[in-house]
Amino acid sequence: WKANLYARTKTRLELGTVTMRFTLERKGKLAAVSEAKRVGDISDEAVSLCKQGLEQAAPHDPFPSALSDREKLTLDVQFLYR
């Protein structure tokens, strides 16, 4: 049964979009990551991979001087599965 489960998940076709929301602190630290929206046939595993990607990309550079008055910045990013 484990081999069948593995084969099904490895061949699963993901079609849709995942929007992830993440918050950065002024010094570039990742403060939060969450799923904002899911459209289409997207598995929980695919959403988890999106979150892992954002977490592994941290830490980021500090905010540029034009944003120095902000403590945090929240952004949405879309992952397209086609």
Write the pLDDT tens digit of every residue in 8-53: 556 567 889 999 999 999 999 999 999 999 999 898 988 998 999 9
Query: Which pLDDT belongs to residue 6?
Result: 56
Assess contact for 58 and 22: CB atoms under 8 A. no
The closest of 43, 49, 61, 58 to 20, measured between CA atoms, is 49
Burial class of residue 12, CB neighbours in 10 A (0-12, 13-18, 19+): exposed
Q: Say how far apart CA 72 and CA 24 lie, in whole Å.
A: 6
Query: Which pLDDT belongs to residue 1?
Result: 46
Query: Which pLDDT belongs to residue 9?
Result: 55
Query: Which pLDDT belongs to residue 38?
Result: 97
Whole-structure pTM value:
0.80
Query: Which pLDDT belongs to residue 81?
Result: 85
